[in-house]
Structure 1
Amino acid sequence: VFSYLPIEDQVAIINAITDKEMHFIMDELAFDDMIDVLEELPANVVDKILEKTPRDERKLINTFLNYPDTCAGSLMTPDYISLQKDMTVTQALAYIKKEGMDSETVYTCYVKDKGRTLLGIVSLRTLVIADDELRISELMHTDFVSVNVYDDQEEVSEIFKKYGFLAIPVVDKENRLVGIITVDDILDVIEEETTEDFERMAGVMDASDKDYLDMSVWHHVRNRLPWLFLLMCSYVITGGIISSFETVLSQVISLVAYLPMLMGTGGNSGSQSATLIIRGMSVDEIDLSDAGKVLWKELRVSAIIGIALSSLNFIRICWIEHQGPMIALTVCGAMLGIVIAAKVIGSMLPMLAKKIGVDPALMATPTISSLTDMVSVITYFMLARIILGI
């Protein structure tokens, strides 16, 4: 419960309790939870805790605290079951019974040599049903999946999602087993990454890990205002483009009535494609090498959608609103071009962002809508000049 309290409450408790009580709290916390707590506490409080910690444990804690917050090393725990390859099944089960209560998980055991090099893994299920005299070396799997201590936590979460593991071993550059990451810890990472992507897709800068109600009004303003200002500037450009076509608007005033529909359709079309592509990249369904396939598919999809929407609007404009066929042709031609352009922009921009090292989530709804609005206005009025001759 202590590890889930707000940080200010944790500090208040630590400052108020005795050394004996503090020792009890730290002993009751799982190692990885203790590291998470220590990472959030002020330096003077951490020093106070480490002073009362045994030397060997203090050295291990300092090692874990030195890993960057976003890497695998900051998520792992050293509380795992390690076996030797020359152990028999009987010896291994006896060891698990002895050490299992202090381990994060007993379902997967890790086999390493005297130099801590990870040799293989063996499941508890395999040990339980195997003959008692078999050696661990005969049962272990050597084709295991592991991560490096400095691998990004988002990459680690993708491995968990891909393989459905309960735990993943963490090794250093010399393939020595350092710790393991369990699924309960990676779930927190997945939630953080998903929240961050949603906030960026909504145009919230500097996404915070605080709850909505815990953030002050000014914190919300600071997160939202810069992005909204940038988007506002883009709409100023769109307004300037519309102003440059005043001649067209003044000669055929009815064109204005269809502009919101075209801009809205373009923005929605682009956002649809961007959402699907961003999601596909996040779950490894789409790779940068698939850009050509994605472009070809979106071109076909957008052509069919554009023709369908244009046909419906042509009927509506001519037979329901009683406008001339040339105006209907202008609007519907623009509709087809805008849908195709918007879906190409929506599908390619996230992939371009990933290519240059920018989070693809930033290329979602707000950015796509701004760009497609500009494209919509230019396409519409240029087509009006060509078809209507104005």
Structure 2
Amino acid sequence: MDERRLLELFEQKKYIEIKRELSEMNEVDVAELLDPLDAHMTLLIFRMLPKDLAVEVFAHFSMEQQLGIINSVTDKELEYIMDELFFDDMIDLIEEMPANIVKKVLKSTKEDERKLINQFLRYPADSAGSIMTIEYVDLRKGITVKEALTHIKETGLNKETVYTCYVTDRKRTLEGFVSLRTLVTSDENLLIDDIMENEVIRVNTHDDQESVANVFRKYGFLALPVVDNENRLTGIITVDDIMDIMEQEATEDFQRMAAMAPSEEAYLDTGVFTLAKHRLPWLLILMVSATFTGRIMGKFENVLASVVVLSTFIPMLMDTGGNSGSQSSTLIIRGLATGEITTHDWWKVLWKELRISFIVGVALAAINWVRLILLEKTDILIAVTVSITIVVTVMASKIVGGVLPLVAKKLKMDPAIMAGPLITTIVDALALMVYFGIATVLLGL
């Protein structure tokens, strides 16, 4: 069903047909189909959905749609939604909603759930504890495979995943894990202790969500156990949740690399003044820092006055340096984000960028030399000055672009801030100093 078909059926009041066709669709597709509709129509169609599907669709609604539903449904309807929502989805909902809506939501939850919600909300923002869910299958040591399968059948419908089951002792200490495949293919009289895997990759409740995403990326897990400082199993993080985190972290990196303050709001849903506020501080910093470039040119004003032609090469040299630095910084920032590069690799990065920059610099200088001498008939000393400056600038730019993100990471800063705009500003000043320094020596100015 598409939007046009839905509107036609709605206008013809063929509600049974709407319900039948929507019930056959995936909940994500239903949420997208209802997204452009007005609040009144969305609510009417939402109430037509089977209860189980309605809850799943609600979890995929945007915050504005969820807010409209919560404000419109009865307390009984809201209570059913809250009861059926997966716990991590409920936590995400509460974290995003205004205080008055949170109060209404909490009123519709059970007392034991309210205590758990309050506990989750106390975890640091962007930590493993804040994104985990408590809906996992745990098995006690000492039980048989038959008892484990019975337990999964009784509780599995309410869990986010049953493919990986975690084994704990009486104190809830994480001892190991066993896959559903292993359970269903093992003798039912075997003990869990005999078939479980003892080596468990785990994360702590206070680990940063970005480091958790790196663990998922490295091992390719569908779920990851979360433990507290006493190694007690507290919850799990599933791959669908971590995919959202990866997207969020990537978006933040792109925004920082473009010299903007990170924002989780969608572009079209964000106000003009809010977007301006996110962009203005970095632009101001970069504008002020660019005054150093002007001061350098002012300092060598006599050089420019003596050989006016030198000024014609400044834009090319600055652009080449900025582009060279941006190439290196982009690769290193990405390597740090994926875990391919660590701060301990600084010497490897420095040595590699030094060799790359020499090859690139010499190639660009050679091409530029041919252009200046054969095509533009430039004075040989000026051609030498420009060509040497290109080599030195490219080498310096690539080294700066490669090393600065590592320095930022070492200082517990986001390496993404050492991206294009900032690198370009630094390299522009560097290129001018090198250019005028070489010109002063070679041209005797």
Q: Tell whether 2:150 aligns with 1:123.
A: no
Structure-to-structure mapping, 1:1-390, within 5 angstroms: 1-205=57-261, 207-390=262-445
User: Partner letter of residue 193 of structure 1?
Assistant: E
TM-score, normalised relative to structure 2: 0.85
Structure 2 counterpart of 1:67, one-letter code: Y
Structure 1 residue ranges without an equivalent (≥5): none
Matches of 1:226 and 1:50, distance apart in 2: 38
RMSD: 1.3
Q: Give the whole-Å Cα distance in 1 for the aligned partners of 2:256 and 2:285.
A: 14
Post-superposition offset of 1:316: 1.0
Paired letter, 2:170: K
Give distance in 1, aligned partners of 2:360 and 2:409. 27
SS in 2 for 1:168: strand
Aligned residues of 2:87 and 2:133 also touching (Cα < 8 A): yes
Q: Secondary structure at the match of 1:132?
A: coil
Structure 1 CA distance, aligned partners of 2:371 and 2:141? 77
CA shift digits 1:25-55 (9 cap, x unpaired): 1122111101111122233332333234322
Give the Cα separation in 2 of the matches to 1:326 and 1:46.
73
Residues 36-81 of structure 1: per-residue CA shift (max 9 Å, x gap)? 1112223333233323432222222222222222111111111111
Which TM-score applies when normalising by structure 1? 0.97
The count of residues paired between Structure 1 and Structure 2 equals: 389
Distance in 2 (alpha carbons) for counterparts of 1:65 and 1:389: 68
Instruction: Please give the alpha-carbon distance, in whole angstroms, between the structure 1 residues aligned to 2:260 and 2:247.
Output: 17
Q: Distance in 1 between matches of 2:114 and 2:225?
A: 22
Separation in 2, partners of 1:8, 1:104: 25
Farther-moved stretch of structure 1 (84-93 vs 97-106): 84-93
Three-state SS of the structure 2 residue aligned to 1:291 is helix
Amino acid aligned to 1:101: L
Aligned to 2:7: none
Of the structure 1 ranges 161-170 and 68-77, higher mean CA displacement relative to structure 2 is found in 68-77
C-alpha distance in structure 2 between counterparts of 1:318 and 1:42, whole Å: 68
Where do 4+ consecutive residues of structure 1 move more than 6 Å? none
> For 2:139 and 2:306, how far apart are their aligned partners in 1?
84
User: Among the aligned pairs, what percent are the same residue?
Assistant: 53
More deviation in 363-372 or 316-325? Answer: 316-325
Deviates more, 1:51-60 or 1:25-34: 51-60
Higher relative contact order (CA 8 A, sep 6+): 1
Q: Distance in 2 between matches of 1:49 and 1:378?
A: 62
Give the superposition deviation at 1:9. Answer: 4.0
Q: 1:228-278 deviations in whole A, cap 9, x for unaligned?
A: 111111222201211221211122111111111111110011011111111
Offset of residue 173 of structure 1: 0.8
Give yes or no for contact 2:82–2:109 (8 Å, CA) kept in 1.
no
Is the alpha carbon distance of 1:312 and 1:49 closer, same or farther for their aligned partners in structure 2, counting shifts above 3 Å? closer
Q: Deviations over 1:273-322 (max 9, x none)?
A: 11111111111111111111211111111111111111111111111100
1:189-242 Cα distance to aligned partner (Å, 9 max, x none)? 10000000000000012x110111111111111111111111111222201211
CA distance in 2, matches of 1:163, 1:314: 50
How far apart in 2 are the matches of 1:343 and 1:176? Answer: 47
Q: Distance in 1 between matches of 2:243 and 2:65?
A: 24
3-state DSSP of counterpart to 2:390: helix
In structure 1, what residue type is equivalent to 2:285?
Answer: L
Q: SS of the residue aligned with 1:111? A: strand
| 1:318-342 CA-partner distances (Å, limit 9, x unpaired) | 1110012111100001111101110
